[in-house]
Structure 1
């Protein structure tokens, strides 16, 4: 008798390695982002792609506000072409990161998403700061 877990055979180790290494090309988790920021190793621009109102209520310290509908060449003109953008939104129930990542990729910009978004950040015990995008 098999369970729902084992009913479909697991991938080979080689397939699993390709898959999980591949995910890391597209994703970063809250811990890795927090570690980079708090240890002076931030080699990416962290974009909060939610609305300005949501950003103002609480965001990751050091994040820049750029709502996903506003991502365009003009908005990115101050960044070198090889700038890595890490995008986040409200959390797993939100697809703002995917919308932002699509826009960035279409503009030829390197992009990863911070999995978990604000929800994941808080769940990990990290704090949000409030303030306007210009503060």
Structure 2
């Protein structure tokens, strides 16, 4: 049985371009304040219909590769039924089906248990909404 549940909201400004924003340091800081050497789970959730959470390598081009792949799979054109905002904005509403709005990650002894090259990232292709929230919740 879990001893505690703690949650906090990050406010992220993604700007006016498609982005992959590394949240790993924010997650680690949150766990330093809340996990206190305990084992548990970190849930990362973005409460927006047009953004997602991914675990991937950043800094070596994988983040740019992800955005390029999303452009191929979800082109920003007029094919989408959802048609408000910027041209092709309907694709942004399909994004969470491919990059889910959440990730649940193991925490061991208060530390995020990621692989060597893994980072926790906010994926945001919606250029119409540059202000995002990300909820971090620790259960342990």
TM-score by length of 1: 0.26
Q: Which has the higher strand share?
A: 2
After TM superposition, the score normalised by the length of structure 2 is 0.25
Structure possessing the higher radius of gyration over alpha carbons? 1
- Greater share of residues in helix: 1
